[in-house]
Amino acid sequence: MAGEIRIKKKQPRRGDDGHKVVSVRMRDETLERLDELAVRTNRSRNELINLLLESAMDIVKIEE
């Protein structure tokens, strides 16, 4: 019988990095504007969506 058992550390699964995949329906015109902005800023669509959502959540006002 061996003196120790070795178990390799499991690599985190995709999605376990603090990010989650979501799906959203978007009007063609909105997607076109987003793609134009991506080209102009040299950023990915994903990066822009995250930046824009973070900014919008900081300034949103909820009306009762």
- Give Rg (Cα) of the chain: 21
Q: What's the pLDDT band for 3 if we cut at 50, 70, 90? A: confident
Alpha carbons 60 and 18: distance in angstroms, whole number: 24
Residue 10 placed within a domain: no
The answer to whether position 17 is within a domain reads no
Please determine, for residue 1, whether its predicted confidence score (pLDDT) is greater than 60: no
Q: Is residue 41 part of a domain?
A: yes
- Provide the number of structural domains found in the chain: 1
Q: Whole domain around residue 35: which residue ranges?
A: 28-59
Length of the chain counted residue by residue: 64
State pLDDT tens for residues 9-19.
777 676 667 88
- pLDDT tens digits for 8-62? 777 767 666 788 889 999 999 999 999 999 999 999 999 999 999 999 999 999 9
